[in-house]
Structure 1
Amino acid sequence: MSAPTAVAPSRALAPYEDAPDPGPLLALNFGFARARVLGTALELGVFTGLVRGPRGTSGLAVELDCDTGALRALLAALEQLGLVAGGADESWTLTNVSRAYLVEGGRGYLGEHFADVLAEWDQWSGLTELMRSGGHGGGELGAPENRDLYPGMFAGIFPVGVRAAFRAVRELALPDAGHVLDFASGAGEWGIALAAADPRARVVAHDSRELLDTARERAVEFGVAERFRFVPADFTRDYAGDFPKAPFPDGCFDTVVLSHLSRFAGPDATERLVHECARLLRPGGTLLVVDVMRQGPGQPALHRPMIALSLLVNTEAGGIQEESAYRAVMQKYGVTAKESVTPGLITVLTGERR
């Protein structure tokens, strides 16, 4: 860079004062550190340690086996992030949001989900090369047979997902749910919402064994467990290759829910799974396809662009598809696509088996 021409200090300062505020950029560049602060606090059990009431730094450090000075610095950062509150006597308490979502064992605990997201740390380091080479970053996240490796991703998000499920079921004019298959059920929020809306509904939750353990606990929490049956899925055996085959006979369900699987598995796997869901529905039965879907011009993007990029980085073939793509696949396999609702980030598309 050539030496600048000497001018009056006020003239030299003017371009810097007139420039946009760089604060948002600086905060964005430091975002990785904020995620690491949250992850470390969860790993140490900071929030769970504070749930019993105000604690001093020294006492908490002993309990968590931490250096007092280092923990004090972490707690100050957590206070800046709005996750703890410090008192004048250096006592620390939880804020409402951390009490609701960051205390291990609490019904709203999201720590396992955050841990699975933070585990993508190294995978994201390859983003620049992906931009040059194209394709996907790979990884195990998108394959259905690996769902039990990521319980935080597919079941740990229940406190968020269950609100969306109940809201969507209320908004949709669905027929009685009847005999329901909650396919790849995760923690079971969609089966639970349908069972709550229809007292006569009977639900089969179908997923890996570890995720079904969580679904069973949540069904008990909502008082619908006596109407649930839990059938483990062998995704390696039953859903590999071109012709997936669920362990259920043709046309045995009134309602089938395919939720939050398609964007991870990719378009080709989605087509095979929709085909299989159609096989399991009786004529006149209802298919619910639930996922994050690309929105049209003028619609709020919310977090969809970042989710799409995450699928590029962390899966073999995943991505966010448009609703029209799902409608076309449903039509191809004998399901007439009908109403859809988008309560926030997710879209719920309904269809009727012809």
Structure 2
Amino acid sequence: MGTDMDEVSPDLAIDTMFACRKTAALRAAIELDLFTLIGEGSTAATLAAAAKASERGVRILADYLVVNGFLIKEGDTYRATPSSRTFLVRHSPAYIGGAIEFIAAPEMLSQFLDDPAACVRNGGSLGLANLSSDNPVWVKFARAMGPLVARSAMALAEEVAAWPKKPQKVLDIAAGHGRFGIEIAKTLPEAEIVAVDWSAVLELARHNAGEFGVAERYRTIPGSAFDVDWGSGYDLILLPNFLHHFDIDTCAGLLKKCRETLAPGGRVVAVDFVPNEDRVSPPFPAAFSFEMLATTPRGEAYTEQEFAEMARRAGFSTATAKPLPPSPASLIFFE
């Protein structure tokens, strides 16, 4: 029988210390478009020629990607794994490589790596971080993250389309790329979308609405969701990936504003990461609080019970969470 000492290893600590190198390698591969250029199989020499890069550099990067599970190496030939072909080849319908432009943006990484202990001591970011007004990081977010949430946005639209009473007037708060509201507009031809976000972000949302053929039913209101008058009579108010940026009191105040601007029978639906009550499972939602610790003053990933508390403070009866596969996010219904 093994003992606890048999399992003692520095591997996890060492791997975590080196983890940012994996991000750097993936970013380089995406910027050089190696996953697309590799085709059915390529050597370092042919890849380097196609990417207009050093053969030595491409060989070392490709080997590193093999070690970390992104590529397969047979002799001198590199091939993409099925997952890499699906998500990292640029012409794939499921391509998500562009998300690296936000997730690994220098202004994002600096918030985690410059002085992480200070965020822990402070209980949140030093200053407003990502929550400063008209922060340009949200334009980068809107450009990069739309494809990453596309399937979740489609799943939300399917959920809404199955309701007995289809919403016709929809408010999308902190719309960003606009994909959640746009997918509802695509699915429900009678639905009109009103999107709230910073003005520079809304330029991209309007562009995306045009690309998806719903521009004539897509209106925007620039400014902070906490401050602007967004009107009333909404059948559905969306809060996609927004509440986790704030503390419970602030969330409850926004939800109260939402409730007061709903039409009779209207609903509020958030998209968010919901950890279990133990706060350490499932992995991605549980880990997301650390993301908020570094990038917001008081945000975190909330449990279903905490969402229910927000709901009660805002005048709703309760909040219930429902998984939103294939993403690690959930839908939260405030009723």
Relative to structure 1, is the Cα distance of residues 94 and 315 closer, same or farther in structure 2, using a 3 angstrom cutoff?
same
Q: Deviation of residue 191 (structure 1)?
A: 1.9
User: The residue matched to 2:144 in structure 1 has which SS?
Assistant: coil
Q: Does 1:349 align with 2:335?
A: no
> Aligned residue for 2:306?
325
CA contact (8 A) 1:143 1:265 kept: no
Deviates more, 1:166-175 or 1:188-197: 166-175
Counterpart amino acid of 2:48?
A: A
**d(CA) in 2 for partners of 1:177, 1:144:** 32
Q: Which has the larger radius of gyration?
A: 1
**d(CA) in 2 for partners of 1:134, 1:61:** 46
**d(CA) in 2 for partners of 1:259, 1:144:** 19
Deviates more, 1:163-172 or 1:260-269: 163-172
Q: Does 1:45 align with 2:33?
A: yes
Q: Does 1:95 align with 2:81?
A: yes
Relative to structure 1, is the Cα distance of residues 210 and 343 closer, same or farther in structure 2, using a 3 angstrom cutoff?
same
> Aligned residue for 2:228?
245
CA contact (8 A) 2:274 2:330 kept: yes
Counterpart amino acid of 1:351?
A: F
**d(CA) in 1 for partners of 2:125, 2:279:** 30
Q: Does 1:182 align with 2:172?
A: yes
Counterpart amino acid of 1:187?
A: H
- The correspondence for 1:164, drawn from 152, 157, 160, is 152
The superposition leaves residues 155-204 of structure 1 with CA deviations (integer Å, 9 ceiling, x where unpaired) of 53334423334445555774312211111122333224434554432222
Q: Does 1:263 align with 2:244?
A: yes
Relative to structure 1, is the Cα distance of residues 341 and 56 closer, same or farther in structure 2, using a 3 angstrom cutoff?
same
Relative to structure 1, is the Cα distance of residues 117 and 338 closer, same or farther in structure 2, using a 3 angstrom cutoff?
closer
CA contact (8 A) 1:142 1:316 kept: no
Q: Does 1:229 align with 2:218?
A: yes
Counterpart amino acid of 2:116?
A: L
Q: Deviation of residue 313 (structure 1)?
A: 1.5
Relative to structure 1, is the Cα distance of residues 140 and 96 closer, same or farther in structure 2, using a 3 angstrom cutoff?
farther
Relative to structure 1, is the Cα distance of residues 69 and 276 closer, same or farther in structure 2, using a 3 angstrom cutoff?
same
**d(CA) in 2 for partners of 1:312, 1:298:** 14
Q: Does 1:114 align with 2:100?
A: yes
Relative to structure 1, is the Cα distance of residues 171 and 272 closer, same or farther in structure 2, using a 3 angstrom cutoff?
same
**d(CA) in 2 for partners of 1:93, 1:139:** 45
Q: Deviation of residue 296 (structure 1)?
A: 2.0
CA contact (8 A) 1:255 1:286 kept: yes
Relative to structure 1, is the Cα distance of residues 45 and 55 closer, same or farther in structure 2, using a 3 angstrom cutoff?
same
**d(CA) in 2 for partners of 1:83, 1:294:** 28
User: The residue matched to 1:142 in structure 2 has which SS?
Assistant: helix
CA contact (8 A) 1:141 1:150 kept: no
Q: Deviation of residue 73 (structure 1)?
A: 0.6
Relative to structure 1, is the Cα distance of residues 79 and 183 closer, same or farther in structure 2, using a 3 angstrom cutoff?
same
**d(CA) in 2 for partners of 1:58, 1:112:** 26
User: The residue matched to 2:283 in structure 1 has which SS?
Assistant: coil
Q: Does 1:71 align with 2:74?
A: no
Q: Does 1:206 align with 2:193?
A: no
User: The residue matched to 1:257 in structure 2 has which SS?
Assistant: strand
The superposition leaves residues 7-60 of structure 1 with CA deviations (integer Å, 9 ceiling, x where unpaired) of xxxxxxx99994446544543343222122112222333234335x54442343
> Aligned residue for 1:134?
122
**d(CA) in 1 for partners of 2:41, 2:290:** 40
**d(CA) in 1 for partners of 2:143, 2:17:** 30
Counterpart amino acid of 1:205?
A: A
Deviates more, 1:336-345 or 1:314-323: 336-345
CA contact (8 A) 1:264 1:315 kept: yes
- Percent of aligned positions with the same letter in both sequences? 20
User: The residue matched to 1:150 in structure 2 has which SS?
Assistant: helix
Task: Could you tell me which runs of 5 or more consecutive residues in structure 2 were left unpaired when the two chains were aligned.
Answer: none
Relative to structure 1, is the Cα distance of residues 265 and 145 closer, same or farther in structure 2, using a 3 angstrom cutoff?
farther
Relative to structure 1, is the Cα distance of residues 83 and 220 closer, same or farther in structure 2, using a 3 angstrom cutoff?
farther
Say how many residue pairs are matched.
Answer: 327
**d(CA) in 1 for partners of 2:182, 2:81:** 30
Relative to structure 1, is the Cα distance of residues 244 and 17 closer, same or farther in structure 2, using a 3 angstrom cutoff?
closer
CA contact (8 A) 1:169 1:197 kept: yes
Relative to structure 1, is the Cα distance of residues 181 and 155 closer, same or farther in structure 2, using a 3 angstrom cutoff?
farther
CA contact (8 A) 1:142 1:318 kept: no
Q: Deviation of residue 212 (structure 1)?
A: 4.0
**TM-score of the superposed pair, with normalisation by structure 1:** 0.76
Q: Does 1:315 align with 2:296?
A: yes
Counterpart amino acid of 1:162?
A: A
> Aligned residue for 1:9?
none
Q: Does 1:143 align with 2:124?
A: no
